[in-house]
Amino acid sequence: MKRNRTWFGVVASLLLIASTAVSTACGVPLDDSPRAINRTTTTTPVATTADVVTGPRVTLYFVNEDGGLVGQTTPSSTVVNVEGAVAALLRTRPSPPLSTRIPADTRLVDLDTSGDLVTVNLTGQIGTIRGEAEEQAYAQIVFTILAFPRYERVRFLIEGEVIAAPTDRENREIVTADDFDPPLNPN
Protein backbone atom coordinates (compact mmCIF):
# COMPACT_ATOMS: atom_id res chain seq x y z
CA MET A 1 0.00 0.00 0.00
CA LYS A 2 2.86 2.34 0.83
CA ARG A 3 4.38 1.63 -2.59
CA ASN A 4 1.11 2.68 -4.35
CA ARG A 5 1.07 5.99 -2.46
CA THR A 6 4.68 6.67 -3.46
CA TRP A 7 3.92 5.80 -7.08
CA PHE A 8 0.83 8.05 -7.00
CA GLY A 9 2.91 10.93 -5.57
CA VAL A 10 5.55 10.54 -8.28
CA VAL A 11 2.92 10.48 -11.04
CA ALA A 12 1.12 13.54 -9.59
CA SER A 13 4.41 15.44 -9.36
CA LEU A 14 5.31 14.58 -12.96
CA LEU A 15 1.87 15.68 -14.17
CA LEU A 16 2.22 18.98 -12.32
CA ILE A 17 5.66 19.60 -13.83
CA ALA A 18 4.42 18.66 -17.31
CA SER A 19 1.36 20.93 -17.11
CA THR A 20 3.48 23.83 -15.88
CA ALA A 21 5.95 23.33 -18.71
CA VAL A 22 3.16 23.22 -21.33
CA SER A 23 1.35 26.30 -20.00
CA THR A 24 4.49 28.43 -19.84
CA ALA A 25 5.80 27.21 -23.20
CA CYS A 26 2.65 28.48 -24.96
CA GLY A 27 3.06 32.07 -23.78
CA VAL A 28 4.63 35.00 -25.56
CA PRO A 29 8.32 35.28 -24.74
CA LEU A 30 9.49 38.40 -22.94
CA ASP A 31 12.11 40.60 -24.57
CA ASP A 32 14.76 42.66 -22.80
CA SER A 33 14.17 45.58 -25.19
CA PRO A 34 11.76 46.61 -27.99
CA ARG A 35 12.14 44.83 -31.30
CA ALA A 36 10.75 45.34 -34.77
CA ILE A 37 7.70 43.37 -35.81
CA ASN A 38 7.92 41.52 -39.09
CA ARG A 39 5.03 42.96 -41.18
CA THR A 40 4.81 39.84 -43.33
CA THR A 41 3.46 37.89 -40.37
CA THR A 42 0.48 40.19 -39.73
CA THR A 43 -2.95 39.35 -41.11
CA THR A 44 -4.58 42.74 -40.45
CA PRO A 45 -4.76 45.04 -43.49
CA VAL A 46 -2.84 48.30 -43.17
CA ALA A 47 -5.13 51.35 -43.01
CA THR A 48 -4.78 54.08 -45.59
CA THR A 49 -4.50 57.70 -44.49
CA ALA A 50 -8.19 58.27 -45.18
CA ASP A 51 -9.07 55.47 -42.74
CA VAL A 52 -6.94 56.72 -39.85
CA VAL A 53 -8.72 58.55 -37.03
CA THR A 54 -6.56 61.23 -35.44
CA GLY A 55 -7.21 59.93 -31.93
CA PRO A 56 -9.93 59.53 -29.34
CA ARG A 57 -12.88 61.88 -29.71
CA VAL A 58 -14.83 63.81 -27.12
CA THR A 59 -17.96 66.00 -27.34
CA LEU A 60 -17.66 69.40 -25.69
CA TYR A 61 -20.60 71.81 -25.44
CA PHE A 62 -20.34 75.50 -26.28
CA VAL A 63 -22.81 78.38 -26.59
CA ASN A 64 -23.94 79.54 -30.06
CA GLU A 65 -25.03 83.03 -31.15
CA ASP A 66 -28.63 82.34 -30.06
CA GLY A 67 -27.61 81.32 -26.54
CA GLY A 68 -28.22 77.60 -27.20
CA LEU A 69 -25.74 74.79 -26.67
CA VAL A 70 -23.93 73.11 -29.53
CA GLY A 71 -22.00 69.88 -29.13
CA GLN A 72 -18.65 69.94 -30.89
CA THR A 73 -16.95 66.58 -31.30
CA THR A 74 -13.21 67.05 -31.36
CA PRO A 75 -10.12 64.86 -31.18
CA SER A 76 -8.68 64.64 -27.69
CA SER A 77 -5.03 64.20 -26.85
CA THR A 78 -5.94 62.97 -23.38
CA VAL A 79 -7.67 59.83 -22.23
CA VAL A 80 -11.31 60.06 -23.17
CA ASN A 81 -13.09 59.73 -19.87
CA VAL A 82 -15.47 62.10 -18.14
CA GLU A 83 -12.69 63.80 -16.15
CA GLY A 84 -10.62 64.37 -19.28
CA ALA A 85 -13.66 65.77 -21.10
CA VAL A 86 -14.45 68.28 -18.33
CA ALA A 87 -10.78 69.33 -18.14
CA ALA A 88 -10.73 69.80 -21.94
CA LEU A 89 -13.94 71.87 -21.79
CA LEU A 90 -12.48 74.16 -19.13
CA ARG A 91 -9.32 74.89 -21.11
CA THR A 92 -10.84 75.09 -24.63
CA ARG A 93 -11.73 78.42 -26.20
CA PRO A 94 -13.87 77.70 -29.28
CA SER A 95 -13.74 79.57 -32.57
CA PRO A 96 -16.52 82.08 -33.30
CA PRO A 97 -19.46 81.94 -33.67
CA LEU A 98 -19.25 79.54 -30.70
CA SER A 99 -18.20 80.79 -27.28
CA THR A 100 -17.89 79.59 -23.71
CA ARG A 101 -19.48 81.14 -20.65
CA ILE A 102 -17.10 79.37 -18.27
CA PRO A 103 -14.60 81.89 -16.85
CA ALA A 104 -11.15 81.31 -18.37
CA ASP A 105 -9.39 80.72 -15.05
CA THR A 106 -11.87 78.10 -13.78
CA ARG A 107 -10.08 74.83 -12.98
CA LEU A 108 -11.17 71.32 -12.09
CA VAL A 109 -10.22 70.56 -8.48
CA ASP A 110 -11.60 67.02 -8.46
CA LEU A 111 -14.15 64.81 -10.15
CA ASP A 112 -15.79 61.74 -8.65
CA THR A 113 -18.18 59.22 -10.18
CA SER A 114 -20.64 56.98 -8.38
CA GLY A 115 -23.06 55.02 -10.52
CA ASP A 116 -24.80 57.50 -12.84
CA LEU A 117 -23.78 60.52 -10.71
CA VAL A 118 -20.75 62.72 -11.44
CA THR A 119 -19.60 65.14 -8.74
CA VAL A 120 -17.57 68.03 -10.14
CA ASN A 121 -15.47 70.19 -7.79
CA LEU A 122 -14.43 73.48 -9.42
CA THR A 123 -12.33 76.43 -8.33
CA GLY A 124 -14.09 79.57 -7.10
CA GLN A 125 -13.78 81.40 -10.44
CA ILE A 126 -16.92 79.62 -11.69
CA GLY A 127 -18.82 81.63 -9.07
CA THR A 128 -17.88 85.00 -10.60
CA ILE A 129 -20.66 84.95 -13.23
CA ARG A 130 -24.39 85.55 -12.81
CA GLY A 131 -27.64 85.38 -14.73
CA GLU A 132 -27.99 83.69 -18.10
CA ALA A 133 -24.22 83.33 -18.54
CA GLU A 134 -24.02 81.40 -15.25
CA GLU A 135 -26.79 79.02 -16.33
CA GLN A 136 -25.13 78.52 -19.72
CA ALA A 137 -21.74 77.80 -18.12
CA TYR A 138 -23.20 75.09 -15.89
CA ALA A 139 -25.21 73.70 -18.82
CA GLN A 140 -21.99 73.41 -20.86
CA ILE A 141 -20.45 71.27 -18.12
CA VAL A 142 -23.61 69.21 -17.54
CA PHE A 143 -24.08 68.31 -21.21
CA THR A 144 -20.38 67.57 -21.73
CA ILE A 145 -20.70 65.05 -18.88
CA LEU A 146 -24.02 63.66 -20.13
CA ALA A 147 -22.43 62.96 -23.53
CA PHE A 148 -21.11 59.87 -21.74
CA PRO A 149 -24.14 57.53 -21.77
CA ARG A 150 -23.45 55.99 -18.35
CA TYR A 151 -23.96 59.32 -16.53
CA GLU A 152 -27.36 60.96 -15.93
CA ARG A 153 -26.86 63.31 -12.96
CA VAL A 154 -24.33 65.98 -12.01
CA ARG A 155 -23.55 67.55 -8.62
CA PHE A 156 -21.40 70.67 -8.35
CA LEU A 157 -19.01 71.77 -5.65
CA ILE A 158 -17.04 75.00 -5.49
CA GLU A 159 -13.80 74.56 -3.55
CA GLY A 160 -15.31 71.50 -1.83
CA GLU A 161 -18.67 73.07 -0.87
CA VAL A 162 -21.86 71.65 -2.45
CA ILE A 163 -23.79 74.30 -4.37
CA ALA A 164 -27.19 74.49 -6.02
CA ALA A 165 -26.41 75.00 -9.72
CA PRO A 166 -28.63 77.28 -11.81
CA THR A 167 -31.03 75.59 -14.24
CA ASP A 168 -34.19 76.55 -16.12
CA ARG A 169 -36.31 75.03 -13.34
CA GLU A 170 -34.58 76.37 -10.24
CA ASN A 171 -31.19 76.06 -8.59
CA ARG A 172 -30.56 72.37 -7.85
CA GLU A 173 -27.94 70.38 -5.99
CA ILE A 174 -28.27 67.51 -8.48
CA VAL A 175 -28.80 68.45 -12.12
CA THR A 176 -30.12 66.34 -15.03
CA ALA A 177 -30.77 67.08 -18.71
CA ASP A 178 -34.46 67.55 -17.87
CA ASP A 179 -33.60 70.63 -15.79
CA PHE A 180 -32.90 72.62 -18.98
CA ASP A 181 -35.40 73.76 -21.62
CA PRO A 182 -34.64 74.53 -25.25
CA PRO A 183 -32.57 76.26 -26.49
CA LEU A 184 -30.21 75.01 -23.75
CA ASN A 185 -31.19 71.37 -24.18
CA PRO A 186 -29.05 70.18 -27.11
CA ASN A 187 -30.93 66.89 -27.52
- HSE (side-chain half, CA atoms, 13 Å) at 107: 3
- Residue 128 phi, psi dihedral angles, 5° rounding: -90, 0
Q: From CA 150, how far away is CA 37, in angstroms rounded? A: 38
pLDDT of residue 57: 77
pTM assigned to the model: 0.68
With a cut of 80, say whether residue 49 has pLDDT above it: no
Domain boundaries, the chain: 52-179
pLDDT of residue 39: 37
Q: Read off the pLDDT of residues 162-180 as tens digits, 9 standing for 90 and up.
A: 999 999 889 999 999 999 8
What distance, in Å, lies between the first and last C-alpha atoms of the chain?
79
Which strand (E) or helix (H) includes residue 132? helix 131-146
With a cut of 60, say whether residue 18 has pLDDT above it: no
